[in-house]
Amino acid sequence: MDKNTILGFLLIGIVLFAFSWFNQPTPEQLEAQHRYQDSIARIEYLQQTEVQNKEKRDSFAEHDPALSDSTQLAQLQTNFGVFAHAMSGTDGYTVLENELVEVRISNKGGHVSYARLKEYDTYDGSPLVLFDEKEMVFDFTLVTANNRVLNTKDLYFIPIKGDDPHSVTMRLNTDDKTYIDFTYHLQPEDYMMAFSIKSVGMNGVLAPSTNALDLVWEQDIRQQEKGRKFEDRYAALYYKYVADDVDNLSEGKNDSKQISNRLKWIGFKDMFFSTVLIAESEFEATTLDSKLLTADGYLKRYKATTSIPFDIQGRNTSDLRFYFGPNHYALLRSYDKGVSSDQQLDLERMISLGASLFRWINQYFVLPIFDFLGRYLNNYGLIIFLLTIIVKIVIFPMTYKSYISSAKMRVLRPQVEEINEKYPGQEKAMERQKATMELYSRAGASPMSGCLPMLLQMPILIALFMFFPSAIELRHESFLWAKDLSTYDAIFSWDAYIPIITPYFGNHISLFCLLMTITNIFYTKYNMEMTNTGQQQMPGMKMMMYMMPLMFLIFFNQYASGLTFYYFISTLITIIQTLSFRFFINEDKLLAKLEANKKKPMKKSGFMKRLEDAQKMQQEQLQKQQNQRKGKR
């Protein structure tokens, strides 16, 4: 082996070593992989233990009534060990309530089995219950020192009430000196409830390796609003990474996700209300699942399988919090007041205000104005009207500039028509286009100057499209014929299912949506006449412009009437502005100004020069092709 070969192998070895060194996983990546593997193992383990526990429960449920109490107790101790006494108890619950929330803590399982929001009701006037005992599973897995696997949902806790009427401790006894306490505390005038878990003397009862409690949390989400399809779009399972962003599972389909990273909270959200479980430390090895439900009265089923740190020695408690309440932006944001940025909950991220720029517009422009008006007015129809006027004032300069641009094109239309007559036919299309662009350039007009202001308005329009359906302030607020601005305002309904129409349009006609459509058709017709520059249009373009308002009718018919009322008023104001511009702006003077611009030395912008060069090149290629065709003939 010669020197060059040895040197080559040496260099290859160095490259391989460097590649391995720089691409080895970081400690954070190794930890995330380890948690991911633990999550898979834990899921399989929980599935196996659930089967075992079911067999034990079935065996206990089918015991012979003729057996003596001592024999039955012996069987229970065989199956459940020191927790045998907790397998039987008194069904019932303890009520904790304040001015806002009523919750019930069940003896069986020691968990919250019912939550009602006192200040709200459903679309049909019934009390607004987030869930009851049939719709909620909240279950911790316990592994004993002799490898018995138990579930807290099958065990009976003993309620211990103290002097504080807003607190209760649910105790899971093995004997007088060994137990687990679930303590709940509901603060006055708050939707947040503290929940802590403490072990006393359990280091000889539970498995010595126990350093976490596995949790299965499942809830069926009730339909609370009128219009199930619309409510479905805004119901989703949300979660927040520790010191990181908020994410969610899909709203429109069955979805699941295994998460190896640590989570701060998990939220089961419907359109306007949420049940959120918050860890003071973290959730680890989490699997989340969301399924669509077809049963009447229910939207989705959410499930979270996770674990929380647990001190078997009892020196530290496992602290959590429940939030049972409305998705009100200011309220959710208030829980982060005075909290460092890395510890903030960001619960308000559950409210669908749009992404990036659109959310920024809603947070710092729309919401402050909306809240300000809401402090002085209690009629939300009037608030939407005033908000629309404010938005129109803000975008007025862009609207005015867009109108002036279209007016310039309109007054130059006779000259454009002369160019069309001078260069007729498809074969002279390039000459016609070049002459038209030269006319606009010399006069100081540009077709693009009218489009840019419209594009700049789009972020505000999209932000408002996201805002109105998510604004809980509009819920059950009436205006004119609309009984609830947060849902559609049907003036005509039917029960029969009509293919194609019912799935997309619904079984009703919304009046504000219909008015919005009519004003859009009128504005489209008027605007097309105003912006006619005399140039040839694509075939079918006119029909397409009329089809858009009709598509809006289909699309928005099931949306919140507050949104369609805003679009109706906004279009109406736009029409009034356009008529006012036409009345006050003297187009003869505008034309004289454009004619004066023609006499000035023309300064071509870089864009116009590149555009003309491209047109010239296309014209030369077209001329070359025409000459080739003549040569073949």
CB 468 within 8 A of CB 479: no
Predicted pLDDT of residue 68 = 47
pLDDT band at 25 (very low <50, low <70, confident <90, very high): low
Which CA distances in Å does 182 have to 154, 196, 206, 213, 242?
15, 6, 16, 13, 24
pLDDT band at 8 (very low <50, low <70, confident <90, very high): low
**Residues contacting 268, CB < 8 A, separation 6+:** 219, 221, 237, 274, 275, 276, 302
pLDDT by residue (tens digit) across 410-453?
Answer: 777 777 777 777 777 676 667 777 777 777 776 666 666 656 66
Secondary structure (DSSP) of 92-110: -EEEEE-SSEEEEEETBTS
**The residue to which tokens 């949420």 are assigned:** 274
pLDDT band at 256 (very low <50, low <70, confident <90, very high): very high
Identity of the highest mean pLDDT range in 316-330, 547-561, 617-631: 316-330
pLDDT greater than 80 at residue 494 = yes
pLDDT by residue (tens digit) across 572-609?
Answer: 998 898 888 888 887 777 777 777 766 666 555 555 56
In this structure, whether the domain defined by 83-351 belongs to CATH 2.70.98.90 is answered with yes
Classify the C-alpha dihedral 280-136-143-74 as positive or negative.
positive
pLDDT greater than 60 at residue 72 = no
54 versus 162: the higher-pLDDT residue is: 162
34 versus 470: the higher-pLDDT residue is: 470
pLDDT by residue (tens digit) across 128-156?
Answer: 999 999 999 999 999 888 888 889 999 99
CB burial string 351-382: b at 16+ within 10 A, e below:
bbbbeeebbebbbebbbeebeebeeeeeebbe
pLDDT band at 248 (very low <50, low <70, confident <90, very high): very high
| Averaged pLDDT for residues 307-314 | 92
Which CA distances in Å does 192 have to 232, 272, 333, 405, 486?
25, 16, 13, 55, 25
Predicted pLDDT of residue 387 = 94
- Rounded Cα distance between 348 and 333, Å, is 6
Helix axis angle, 367-376 relative to 380-394, nearest 10°? 140
Burial class (CB in 10 A: 0-12, 13-18, 19+), 202: buried
Classify the C-alpha dihedral 40-42-45-49 as positive or negative.
negative
Considering the chain, what is the average pLDDT of its residues? 82
Amino acid at 395: I
Alpha helices in 213-253 (DSSP H): 228-232
pLDDT band at 95 (very low <50, low <70, confident <90, very high): very high
Predicted pLDDT of residue 416 = 73
- Rounded Cα distance between 26 and 170, Å, is 43
Q: Whole-angstrom distance between the N-terminal and C-terminal Cα of the chain?
A: 73
pLDDT greater than 60 at residue 617 = yes
Report the 3 state secondary structure along 546-588. Answer: HHHHHHHHHHHCCCCHHHHHHHHHHHHHHHHHHHHHHHHCCHH
pLDDT greater than 80 at residue 384 = yes
CB 120 within 8 A of CB 128: yes
Predicted pLDDT of residue 606 = 57
| Averaged pLDDT for residues 24-49 | 55
Instruction: Output phi, psi for 212, to 5 deg.
Output: -155, 155
Predicted pLDDT of residue 229 = 81
Predicted pLDDT of residue 162 = 81
Predicted pLDDT of residue 41 = 56
pLDDT band at 61 (very low <50, low <70, confident <90, very high): very low
Strands (E), 501-540: 508-510
Token pair belonging to 491:
């003036």
**The residue to which tokens 């009322």 are assigned:** 565
pLDDT by residue (tens digit) across 346-375?
Answer: 999 999 998 888 999 999 999 999 999 999
pLDDT band at 11 (very low <50, low <70, confident <90, very high): low
Domain ranges of the chain: 83-351, 359-599
Token pair belonging to 81:
């060990």
pLDDT greater than 60 at residue 474 = yes
Question: If DSSP codes are grouped into helix, strand and coil, which group holds residue 247?
Answer: strand
pLDDT greater than 90 at residue 331 = yes
pLDDT by residue (tens digit) across 184-222?
Answer: 999 999 999 999 999 998 888 888 889 999 999 999 999
pLDDT band at 45 (very low <50, low <70, confident <90, very high): low
Token pair belonging to 633:
């003939």
Predicted pLDDT of residue 586 = 79
Which CA distances in Å does 596 have to 321, 402, 405, 447?
72, 21, 17, 19
Predicted pLDDT of residue 543 = 67
Residue 144, beta-bridge partner list: 206
Q: Can you give the pTM of this predicted structure?
A: 0.78
| Averaged pLDDT for residues 472-484 | 92
pLDDT greater than 90 at residue 86 = no
pLDDT greater than 60 at residue 466 = yes
Predicted pLDDT of residue 75 = 53
pLDDT band at 22 (very low <50, low <70, confident <90, very high): low
- Rounded Cα distance between 579 and 495, Å, is 42
- Rounded Cα distance between 624 and 618, Å, is 10
Token pair belonging to 224:
């609370």
